[in-house]
C-alpha cells in the first residue's frame, strides 16, 4: 500500500495535539526530528533540503513510507507507518508509527550483550539484504534494531535503493564503506575483526573463488579496512 501523491495537510493545532507530552529523541539546527509520544508512537519529521535535489520531486518522507512497504514485502522487519502528513506552515513532512520494540545494535554491543554473536549475525543479515536487492546507504549500527525475538529490524530507511535483482559485487563493496561511517561502529568492528566480518559475509552470501577475489579487490578500493 503506497501513500497518496500528496500527504494530507496538518494544521499547527493538529500537530500540537499530536505531539502533546512527547519527548524529543533527536533534533538538529532545523528543529525537532524524532519525537516519542506518551502512547509509544514515533513522530518522524522531514525537513526540505536547502539545495535543489531529487528530494524536491521525491521527498524523503515518501521514500521512507514506500521503502517500509517494500521491505515488509521482502520479509525484512521495519516500522509500520500509519500517517503521512504535511505541515505547510513549517514546510515539513511527518510520518507516525508505533515504536518498534528493541534496542539498537550499537547499544547492545556497547553494553556487552552477545557481541560476537550479534556481529556474526549482522554479516549474514547484510548478505541477506544484498541478496534481496536492498542497498541501505544509511546502514550503521544505530539504524539496525535487535528485536525482542533476537532478529534484526531496520529504521531510518529513507536513503535506500531496492531492486528486483540481487546486488552486484561493486554495489556490495560500496555498502561496506557505508558501514564504516560512524567512528563508534569502526571501533566495534575493529574489535571483532574486519577480515573476520568479511569472511562471515562471504560465507553467508555464498561468495567464493573468483567472485571472492573480485569482491575483495573492490572492497580494497571502497572500504580498505575490511581487506587488511
Grid cell for residue 189: 568492528
**What is the mean predicted confidence (pLDDT) over 133-151?**
94
Q: How many CA atoms lie within 13 A of 6 on its CB side?
A: 5
- What span, in angstroms and rounded, lies between the C-alpha atoms of 222 and 215? 10
Tens of pLDDT, residue by residue over 165-183, are 999 999 999 999 999 999 9
How large a percentage of the chain has pLDDT more than 70?
A: 93
Decide: helix, strand or coil at residue 77.
strand
E strands within the chain? 8-9, 23-28, 31-36, 41-46, 77-78, 83-87, 92-98, 103-104, 134-136, 144-146, 152-154, 160-162
Looking at residue 56, what is its pLDDT? 62
Please tell me the chain's helix, strand, coil percentages from 3-state DSSP, rounded to the nearest 5.
45, 20, 35
Asked if residue 37 has pLDDT above 90, the reply is yes
**pLDDT at res. 2:** 44
Average pLDDT, the chain: 91
pLDDT digits (tens, 9 = 90+) for 189-211: 999 999 999 999 999 999 999 99
CA distance 88 to 222: 41
- How is the chain split into domains, by residue range? 8-98, 103-227
CATH topology of domain 103-227: Transferase(Phosphotransferase); domain 1 (1.10.510)
Which CATH number applies to 8-98?
Answer: 3.30.200
Amino acid at each position: 500500500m503506497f501513500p497518496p501523491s500528496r500527504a494530507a495537510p496538518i494544521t499547527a493545532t493538529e500537530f500540537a495535539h499530536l505531539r502533546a507530552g512527547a519527548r524529543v529523541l533527536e533534533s538538529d539546527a532545523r528543529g525537532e526530528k524524532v519525537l516519542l509520544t506518551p502512547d509509544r508512537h514515533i513522530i518522524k519529521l522531514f525537513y526540505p533540503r536547502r539545495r535543489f535535489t531529487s528530494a524536491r520531486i521525491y521527498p524523503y518522507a515518501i521514500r521512507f513510507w514506500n521503502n517500509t512497504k517494500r521491505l515488509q514485502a521482502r520479509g525484512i522487519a521495519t516500522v509500520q507507518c500509519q500517517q503521512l502528513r504535511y505541515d505547510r506552515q513549517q514546510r515539513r513532512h511527518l510520518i507516525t508509527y508505533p515504536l518498534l520494540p528493541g534496542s539498537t545494535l550499537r547499544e547492545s554491543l556497547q553494553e556487552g550483550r552477545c557481541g560476537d554473536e550479534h556481529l556474526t549475525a549482522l554479516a549474514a543479515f547484510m548478505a541477506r539484504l544484498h541478496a534481496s536487492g536492498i542497498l541501505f546507504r544509511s546502514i550503521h549500527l544505530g539504524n539496525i534494531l535487535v528485536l525482542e525475538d533476537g532478529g534484526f529490524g531496520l529504521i531510518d530507511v529513507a536513503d535506500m535503493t531496492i531492486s528486483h535483482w540481487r546486488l552486484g559485487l561493486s554495489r556490495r563493496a560500496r555498502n561496506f564503506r557505508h558501514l564504516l561511517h560512524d567512528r563508534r561502529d569502526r571501533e566495534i568492528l575493529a574489535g571483532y575483526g574486519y577480515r573476520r566480518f568479511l569472511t562471515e559475509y562471504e560465507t553467508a552470501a555464498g561468495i567464493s573463488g573468483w567472485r571472492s577475489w573480485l569482491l575483495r579487490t573492490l572492497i580494497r578500493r571502497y572500504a580498505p579496512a575490511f581487506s587488511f
